[in-house]
């Protein structure tokens, strides 16, 4: 069995994903993600949806591992899924989506929702993207309802 090393899989996956978003680009995926974010912010009249951006390099690595694993399974090869983008959680095999945050923490603090219905539904854009509501959110101000962060005091 010929098995590619993890570095080669991650590099090939990142290069392929970059090509989906911009031809003839020779920059790391996170750099491309940032450039496209800047372009979208400059021309957008509303919030930039995370799904309109390329994945982070961290997310792409795990996706590439899982893709490689699936390809090898189809070819009849046996590889350890725990070494190729999966983990065991609560006695179940689960995909690892990423280990790093989707954006720098200071940028994530700028994301806000405009919910008005108690923030229990999936219409809350913060909840939808796996984030807690913050003090920038329109109605809850990050201190009420069900999806808010614990109050943190800044020290100067």
User: Is residue 147 within 8 Å of residue 127, measured between CB atoms?
Assistant: yes
Q: What angle do CA 119, 56, 111 make, to 5 degrees?
A: 30
This prediction has a pTM of 0.66
pLDDT tens profile 47-77: 777 778 889 999 999 999 999 999 999 999 9
pLDDT tens profile 85-103: 999 999 999 999 999 887 7
DSSP category for residue 133: B
Element (H, E) at 93: strand 92-95
pLDDT tens profile 1-34: 456 889 999 999 999 999 999 887 789 999 999 8
Nearest-CA neighbor of 48 among 104, 98, 112? Answer: 112
């Amino acid at each position: 069995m010929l098995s590619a090393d993890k570095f080669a899989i991650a590099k090939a996956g990142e290069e392929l994903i970059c090509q989906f978003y911009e031809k003839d680009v020779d920059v790391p995926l996170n750099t491309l993600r940032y450039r496209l974010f800047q372009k979208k912010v400059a021309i957008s009249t509303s919030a930039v949806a995370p799904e309109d951006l390329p994945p982070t390099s961290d997310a792409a690595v795990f996706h590439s591992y899982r893709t490689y694993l699936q390809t090898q399974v189809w070819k009849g090869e046996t590889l350890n899924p725990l070494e190729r983008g999966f983990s065991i959680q609560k006695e179940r095999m689960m995909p690892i989506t990423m280990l790093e945050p989707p954006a720098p923490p200071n940028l994530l603090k700028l994301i806000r929702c405009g919910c008005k219905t108690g923030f229990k539904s999936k219409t809350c854009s913060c909840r939808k993207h796996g984030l807690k509501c913050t003090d920038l959110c329109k109605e809850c101000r990050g201190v009420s309802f069900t999806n808010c962060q614990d109050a943190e005091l800044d020290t100067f």
